[in-house]
Amino acid sequence: QNVRPFKCDQCPQSFYRNLDLKRHKRIHLTVKPFPCGHCEKSFSRKDALK
């Protein structure tokens, strides 16, 4: 089954695990504490830096 019980309340995304939902919700924050060292961008999650 493709049941994703953990649904984001700000967009249509849903997830298998609550942990994934919590991590996803950070993209909706206006605070982006992880700046890129190579360009002007900042990110809400450290793992988004590449």
Query: Residues 3-42: pLDDT tens digits?
Result: 999 999 999 999 999 999 999 998 898 888 899 999 999 9
Identify the pLDDT of residue 39. Answer: 94
Please state the domain count of the chain: 1
Range of the domain at 38: 6-48
Q: Measured between alpha carbons, how far is 13 from 47 in angstroms, rounded to an integer?
A: 19
Which residues are CB-contacts of 32 (< 8 A; sequence separation ≥ 6)?
A: 42, 43, 44
Look at residue 1 and tell me whether its pLDDT is greater than 80.
Answer: no
Q: Is the pTM of this model over 0.75?
A: no
Q: Please choose, from the candidates 40, 43, 20, 19, the residue with its C-alpha nearest in 3D space to the C-alpha of residue 30.
A: 43
Q: Using CB atoms within 10 A of its CB, is residue 8 exposed (0-12), middle (13-18) or buried (19+)?
A: middle
Q: Measured between alpha carbons, how far is 49 from 24 in angstroms, rounded to an integer?
A: 15
Identify the pLDDT of residue 41. Answer: 93
Q: Determine, yes or no, domain membership for 38.
A: yes
Q: What is the CATH number of the domain that holds 39?
A: 3.30.160.60
